[in-house]
Structure 1
Amino acid sequence: MMHTQCPFCSVQCKITLHSSESTTLHPTLPLMTYQAEGTPNAASQGRLCIKGMNAHQHVFNRERLKYPLIRRQGELVRASWQEVNDYIANRLQQSIQQSGRDSIGIYGGGSLTNETAYLLGKFARVAIGTKYIDYNGRFCMSAAASAGSKTFGIDRGLTCQLSDIPLAKCIILAGTNIAECQPTLMPYFNQAKENGAQIIVIDPRVTATATIADIHLQIRPGTDALLANTMLKIMLEQDWIDHEFIKKRTNGYEELAELVRSIDIEQTASICDVPVALIYQAAQVYAQASTGIIFTARGVEQQTDGHLAVRYFLNLVLATGKIGKPGCGYGAVTGQGNGQGGREHGQKADQLPGYRSIENPADRAYISSVWNIDPEDLPDKGVSAYEMMELIDQQQITTLFVMGSNPIVSNPNIPLVRAGLEKLDLLIVADLFLSETAQLADIVLPVTAYLENTGTLTNLEGRVLLREAARPIPYESKHDWQILCELARVLGQHTGFDFAQAEDVFNELRLASRGGLADYYGITYDRLRREEGIYWPCPSLDHSGVPTMFADSFAHADGRAVFTSIANVATKDTISSDYPLLMTNGRVLAHYLTGVQTRRSATLTAREPENFMEIHSQTAKRYHIKDNDWVEVSSVRGSFTIRCRIKNHIREDTLFVPMHWGGAQNVNQATDPTLDAYCKMPGFKVSAVCIRPASLRYL
């Protein structure tokens, strides 16, 4: 029996994994079989979804990388750790001598433990000395994180607890499909409905989540920001706002009122393609509810105006005073397993541990003291994940180290990304499997799986959890943090990377985060074992953590939250005669991120063996497409070929394609790489495309 934690979504459900020998097929060669059940915990309350129940399958998959690989004569072949470490060190030193430290890029992931995320940032800035580090969480949480920081002074996924959901009388789910992305949370929403809550869903599709909605605003993709401002306009006109809260606890209201004054409700409703009466109803239900919570996710955030769209929804929260008390708040529904913790401790281009800013002299000085380096030697801010791909294509970055990510599938504009990666002098990938990115690598390093490595992860509530190793390290795999320590040492960093276990890394993380916005100092492994999980901020060992944020004040210096009155001028893909349809993307229940792990699960792959495109029946009829036909989808950036599913729960002007497949079925062959001006989030959710039946030469 093994006690562990699901490696997938941000709920981080606890698991008990039972094993037994099966002799059904080979009596003389018994096979080990496994069965997972949920372990009671505060977040999922013991529930598991289909992914959690089968997460162990990829761990035991025969395609697991067993030893290091090095490319010789065009082929990846087995090598020793000593050989690959020496090779990497020599090549990195050559790159630094020839082109400078910033010729090297580091690319992390939002599923790495807090310990590895922290150490990856330190490795980049101390062992390598490069400013170029970012991670795939840029495509997940950057819009909500930057919006929360500007509005509240701090970013934590949920300002409230999951247990507040049943207390809310109105819940807005904007661009989030909880039922497929975080299914173990659905009972919270069902309980809220039983308690009399009205649920408002904002989504271009009638998703499994939308089926529980009392009001479904089936908007045109890309119009979320406009919808939020239209709702606010109605609330201000009807005086459905909390004047006392606004006066005592916020700044910027008058400027905001001026911004929305010019909105023509009939016109904006037409642009959103939602009836005016329905927008009025949604605004009234939320504004007049005694308690309420707004949740956003990638549908709102993965847009070129994602930052402002979230801030406009936060304007609704502040205008009604629904925050800092039971049954109230805002939640950015984190996508990746450690999407919250992964962005707090130094993987992002502009951040240092504890959510400190790399551009703040005091923050730089403090972290430099922890790392025992001169602040002048700490690199400056780098660029976002996709901008790194552009620099690679321009050959300004000539070496890339990738850990826990698959950028050739997850980035937008894959034609440019692939071309760039193929130009690299050296590509190093640390992963469980030979992912699409690893297939291009010069060096591939085998890492341990979730059942084998100990570390902390922070769930969507901001609750820090400890996941301990449940089985020995197999083959020649090594922990992520061990790989970083060994590479640092062969690069000459003999101090600062001499950790013996994950807990040692965490203890340095605690010190590095001390006094920062994301303060973990009071959290220890011993406490986590006793208390199950602890909310940050937790500044001291006798502090119990902060489950509900902003009960008395916000994190800005004056204690007030800030309305935004910035006008939205973001550009987006628009339909034309050449590209008359809008394509959006998202997740399906059976898979996770780019599918590197879930596509190695027989059970999950059987549920969704290949990618697909959802299309309305009337749209399919216009293009002479039948259900299950192969279709070529094209934008100005590229094209891919995919099988279609005719579904009338989607808008006629919209196509939906999941994001979990690479190669010829990769939706990101055609997605928009235009970046949000504030957070550098690409415009994944709105791409103008055309379609046609695929001839055999495309298959």
Structure 2
Amino acid sequence: MNQTTACPLDCYDACRIVVDENGKLKGDKSHPVTRGYLCPNLNHFTQQNRLLSPQFRGDEISMERAFELLIEVLKNSKNDQILYYRGSGNVSLMQRSCEHFFASIKAVGTSGSLCDGAGEAGVLAGRGSNEVLSPQMIDESEVVIFWGRNPHTTHSHLLPFLEGKTVIVIDPVKTSIAQSADLHIQIKPHCDLQLALLLSRFAIIEGIHDEAFLQEHASEYNDFYELTQSVRIKATLDFIDVSLGQIGAILELMKGKKCAILVGVGVQKYRNGADVLRSIDGFGAIMGLFGKRGCGVSYLGNSLSGIDLPFESLSRRISKPTADFSKYNCVFVQGANPLAQMPNSTGVRHAFASAGFTVYFGLYENETSRSADLVIPAKTFLEKNDFRSSYGDYTLQEMPQIFQSESGISEYELTSRLCNAFGVQWEDESYYLDFFRKQMDVRDGVGYRRNVPEIPYENGFENGEFEFLDTIDADIDDNEGFYLITSKYGQGLNSQFKRAGGVYFHPDAGFDEDAVVQLVSHSCSVEMRVRHDNRLRKDCLLIYSGTPDVNVLTPPHLSYEGESAVYQEIKIKVIKK
């Protein structure tokens, strides 16, 4: 008998899945977003590299012994000497149950993000809340702008919704969507703030801004216009490598049309990442794109918007991108691979090795599991009960247990055992599942979150008005080296599944294919093999997210707002071997 569930992977799509009696995964044709198709990662879902049994310092042990060791180290550690580090990609709701235990014993958690924190901080500063444009809303658009976002890799189920639309792409890479777009602006990296300011300025000069919307919802727009005038036009256009004609072409294609701007995380991987999103949002406000059907600016949405959690929350936190593991007697890592994904990974690995006792709780073998003292394998999404929210739409999907497995342990089961050992109050699993089920509306066989807007910002902004960026730091970067781009890899997901290798340059950048080069960033360096990609600018190099040792190069800094990693803040010097 066929059963349905949802994909737990960290992406916009949240595929709805039909599992047949042979265990084969198929797309659910009745789902209004995924429409019977699975994303590439789920199409190639595999048990390869799955952790099947607990391990203690490389030796296989029983689950009972693993819990004895874990409970012993927790009981022998002071509360402020226990760090709970949960991966940001854990979008299934029951995966958050582990925090209940660590919050109850007053352990230390993390805040901030390795992914999107700076951008979300900018969105919240301007709009007051972070609401996403659903694919159904984008379907009503006439013009769609992909600003640093590549749907073929990160949001493939959106592609059918683009049929018949004018597509504009702003991206340093000539991505698949850029190759078929009506207009592609191959902007220099870290220049999105300047472009957004110039677009806003010329929209007002040309009189195509939405005066009525601005008077009602963003009355300080004249101050923002004055801010845009502080940007020198010719010098800025020359530096960002965009022509006045291209700015005019963007505005002409948008004029009088329902337009959606879809922004990717790459534009905000900088210390001023919040300002970048605020400037793009500001352009959206100038054009009156908020609160209307088929219009808006959409970033990664908040997957918890409209959802209450039944779990205790940690009160003490440190910034995730700069967490110093060496300061803790017990480090518990859940569903994350910080030794590969955190910036400054050389320092991270030394700090992890210096911690008193390290625990990895997850599904796959990786750099962190291989370095941890204790490894506790998790169950797959097919082997446990859960609910799946999304940051790409407002669905809320139930994920029932479909298969029994002797391997691993679910987040609920692990939390239950720890709570029982420490006398922490904890409910039956059915209580928590019902808690989430009561927050789900089912329409036409599809679950949705309650109390979410059909049209984002239709009733205005949470702050009362849209708040424009009021100061800028848009200095021209004249440092030597190549701009670093850390895009998502099409055949993997961060450090899961297939991982890319090597460093990519334009063929005319001066490096031979297959040659080994030394990449230098500040005092850190790594050797990689050259790959050619003629989609790149000649002043850029691309190392895909998840490539082993890419984060040897990235800096241990936080964004000015949002406590986010700033992977692309640096330029890379390249030395031929």
Q: Does 1:151 align with 2:151?
A: no
Give yes or no for contact 2:504–2:531 (8 Å, CA) kept in 1. yes
Structure 2 residue aligned with 1:14: 16
Q: Deviations over 1:567-624 (max 9, x none)?
A: 236998x632xxx2122111122111212xx23xxxxxxxxx741322112213xxxx
Q: Does 1:132 align with 2:114?
A: no
Q: Aligned pair in 2 of structure 1 residues 692, 550: CA closer, same or farther (>3 Å)?
A: same
Structure 1 residue aligned with 2:503: 613
Q: Aligned pair in 2 of structure 1 residues 130, 443: CA closer, same or farther (>3 Å)?
A: same
Q: Does 1:550 align with 2:550?
A: no
Structure 1 residue 245: deviation in Å? 0.8
Select the residue among 140, 155, 174 that pairs with 1:182: 155
Give yes or no for contact 1:584–1:687 (8 Å, CA) kept in 2. no
Structure 2 residue aligned with 1:85: 67
Q: Which amino acid aligns with 2:432?
A: V
Q: Deviations over 1:241-267 (max 9, x none)?
A: 111111111253233122112111111
Structure 1 residue aligned with 2:466: 561
The SS at the match of 2:66 is helix
Measure the CA separation in 1 of the matches of 2:38 and 2:226.
47
Q: Deviations over 1:480-539 (max 9, x none)?
A: 12212211221231x1x23334xx22455x5xxxxxxxxxx9514xx4597412134x2x
Q: Does 1:229 align with 2:197?
A: yes
Deviating 4+ runs (over 6 angstroms): 342-345, 569-572
The SS at the match of 1:566 is coil
TM-score (norm 1): 0.77
Measure the CA separation in 2 of the matches of 1:256 and 1:186.
34
Q: Which amino acid aligns with 1:206?
A: K
The SS at the match of 1:213 is coil
Select the residue among 505, 509, 523 that pairs with 2:432: 505
Q: Does 1:51 align with 2:41?
A: yes
Structure 1 residue aligned with 2:84: 106
Give yes or no for contact 2:555–2:569 (8 Å, CA) kept in 1. yes
Structure 2 residue aligned with 1:446: 377
Q: Aligned pair in 2 of structure 1 residues 522, 492: CA closer, same or farther (>3 Å)?
A: closer
Give yes or no for contact 2:518–2:527 (8 Å, CA) kept in 1. yes
Identity across the alignment (%): 19
Q: Aligned pair in 2 of structure 1 residues 113, 487: CA closer, same or farther (>3 Å)?
A: farther
Q: Deviations over 1:609-642 (max 9, x none)?
A: 741322112213xxxx322333332212423333
Q: Does 1:315 align with 2:282?
A: yes
Select the residue among 410, 413, 417 that pairs with 2:341: 410
Give yes or no for contact 1:295–1:333 (8 Å, CA) kept in 2. no
Measure the CA separation in 2 of the matches of 1:571 and 1:479.
50
Select the residue among 261, 279, 300 that pairs with 2:229: 261
Measure the CA separation in 1 of the matches of 2:297 and 2:370.
41
Measure the CA separation in 2 of the matches of 1:672 and 1:344.
35
Select the residue among 185, 191, 195 that pairs with 1:217: 185
Q: Which amino acid aligns with 1:296?
A: V
Q: Aligned pair in 2 of structure 1 residues 35, 458: CA closer, same or farther (>3 Å)?
A: closer
Structure 2 residue aligned with 1:517: none
Structure 1 residue 147: deviation in Å? 2.2
Structure 2 residue aligned with 1:535: 449
Measure the CA separation in 2 of the matches of 1:46 and 1:37.
4
Measure the CA separation in 2 of the matches of 1:569 and 1:398.
43
Q: Does 1:586 align with 2:487?
A: yes
Q: Does 1:329 align with 2:256?
A: no
Q: Which amino acid aligns with 1:523?
A: Q
The SS at the match of 1:567 is coil
Structure 2 residue aligned with 1:658: 544
The SS at the match of 2:404 is coil
Give yes or no for contact 1:324–1:548 (8 Å, CA) kept in 2. yes
Measure the CA separation in 1 of the matches of 2:363 and 2:315.
31
Structure 2 residue aligned with 1:675: 558
TM-score (norm 2): 0.92
Give yes or no for contact 1:447–1:477 (8 Å, CA) kept in 2. yes
Kindly report which structure 2 residues correspond to 1:384-399, keeping only aligned pairs within 5 A, or say none.
384-388=319-323, 391-392=324-325, 395-399=326-330
Q: Does 1:640 align with 2:526?
A: yes
Select the residue among 57, 67, 91 that pairs with 2:53: 67
Q: Which amino acid aligns with 1:51?
A: N
Q: Which amino acid aligns with 1:264?
A: R
Structure 1 residue aligned with 2:269: 302
Structure 1 residue aligned with 2:145: 172
Structure 1 residue 333: deviation in Å? 4.2
Give yes or no for contact 1:245–1:321 (8 Å, CA) kept in 2. yes
Measure the CA separation in 1 of the matches of 2:201 and 2:101.
48
Q: Aligned pair in 2 of structure 1 residues 321, 132: CA closer, same or farther (>3 Å)?
A: same
Select the residue among 523, 529, 548 that pairs with 2:439: 523
Q: Aligned pair in 2 of structure 1 residues 276, 673: CA closer, same or farther (>3 Å)?
A: farther
Structure 1 residue aligned with 2:303: 341
Structure 2 residue aligned with 1:516: none
Structure 1 residue aligned with 2:99: 121
Q: Does 1:465 align with 2:396?
A: yes
Measure the CA separation in 2 of the matches of 1:570 and 1:142.
22
Measure the CA separation in 2 of the matches of 1:409 and 1:453.
27
Q: Which amino acid aligns with 1:69?
A: Q
Measure the CA separation in 2 of the matches of 1:431 and 1:628.
35
Q: Aligned pair in 2 of structure 1 residues 448, 170: CA closer, same or farther (>3 Å)?
A: same
Give yes or no for contact 2:203–2:287 (8 Å, CA) kept in 1. no
Structure 1 residue aligned with 2:512: 626
Higher relative contact order, structure no. (Cα contacts within 8 Å, ≥ 6 residues apart): 2
Q: Deviations over 1:103-158 (max 9, x none)?
A: 221111233244335423333321x30343347xx1222123222222222123x1
Measure the CA separation in 1 of the matches of 2:514 and 2:26.
34
Q: Deviations over 1:383-410 (max 9, x none)?
A: 321122xx32xx4334211111111111
Q: Aligned pair in 2 of structure 1 residues 251, 419: CA closer, same or farther (>3 Å)?
A: farther
Q: Aligned pair in 2 of structure 1 residues 569, 675: CA closer, same or farther (>3 Å)?
A: farther
The SS at the match of 2:413 is helix
Measure the CA separation in 2 of the matches of 1:224 and 1:549.
24
Q: Which amino acid aligns with 2:375?
A: V
Q: Which amino acid aligns with 2:461?
A: F
The SS at the match of 2:541 is strand
Structure 1 residue aligned with 2:573: 690
Measure the CA separation in 2 of the matches of 1:637 and 1:182.
36
Give yes or no for contact 1:115–1:481 (8 Å, CA) kept in 2. no
Q: Which amino acid aligns with 2:100?
A: K
Select the residue among 462, 480, 485 that pairs with 2:411: 480
Q: Which amino acid aligns with 1:299?
A: G
RMSD (CA atoms) = 2.6
Measure the CA separation in 1 of the matches of 2:476 and 2:272.
8
Moved more, 480-489 or 170-179: 480-489
Measure the CA separation in 1 of the matches of 2:25 and 2:216.
54
Measure the CA separation in 2 of the matches of 1:34 and 1:522.
30
Give yes or no for contact 1:575–1:689 (8 Å, CA) kept in 2. no
Structure 2 residue aligned with 1:364: none
Measure the CA separation in 2 of the matches of 1:113 and 1:686.
27
The SS at the match of 2:429 is coil
Structure 1 residue 470: deviation in Å? 5.0
